[in-house]
Amino acid sequence: MIATPKLMTVTDAAADRIRAIMDKSDKPIAGLRIGIENSGCAGVGYTMEYAEAAPAGDDVVEDKGVTLFIDPKAVMFLLGTSMDYKVEKMTSGFVFDNPNQTSACGCGESVELEAVSTDAMNSFMAGE
């Protein structure tokens, strides 16, 4: 069996932060659901929400001990994305390093994403 590459990955810092947040939840959480929605001046923003169970139809990514559920509408825009958690002098938060991002607004609240090509998706699925 050939291992399929991960749709998304998380850094150690992101995995640590996700676990810390989930540990503080007052109910059991199965994972973090990631998606995109229309937002801001650049076009879309990333969404994150707790998932108490695996949403039907979502892709499941397990990386560094955390589980991500990827909204099927977002897969073609998130392929190859790495999620990090950064702490800076005045801010902290999750940051997405997305190879499909073509631009971002000046305030950093939204991005413009381009869907991956069919050839890129086929290469991904083939493990190349």
Return the DSSP state at 6: P
Please report the pLDDT score of residue 124 as a whole number: 66
- Ramachandran angles phi, psi of 77, nearest 5°: -105, -15
pLDDT-based confidence at residue 114 (cuts at 50, 70, 90): confident
- CA distance linking residue 3 with residue 116, whole number of Å: 20
pLDDT at 2: 43
pLDDT digits (tens, 9 = 90+) for 69-91: 999 999 888 999 999 999 999 88
Residue 42, pLDDT score:
61
Q: Which residue do the tokens 């695996």 mark?
A: 54
Q: How far apart are CA 9 and CA 62, in angstroms?
A: 8
Tokens 């932060």 — which residue? Answer: 17
Burial (CB count <10 Å: 0-12, 13-18, 19+), residue 34: buried
Residue whose token pair is 């850094």: 11
Query: Token pair of 9, please?
Result: 């990955």
In this prediction the pTM is 0.81
* Class for the domain spanning 8-125: mainly beta
Residue of 57 and 114 predicted with greater confidence: 57
What torsion, rounded to 10 degrees, do the Cα atoms 22, 34, 47, 85 define? 60
Mean pLDDT value of segment 58-65:
94
pLDDT at 107: 60
Residue 121 confidence class, pLDDT cut points 50, 70, 90: low
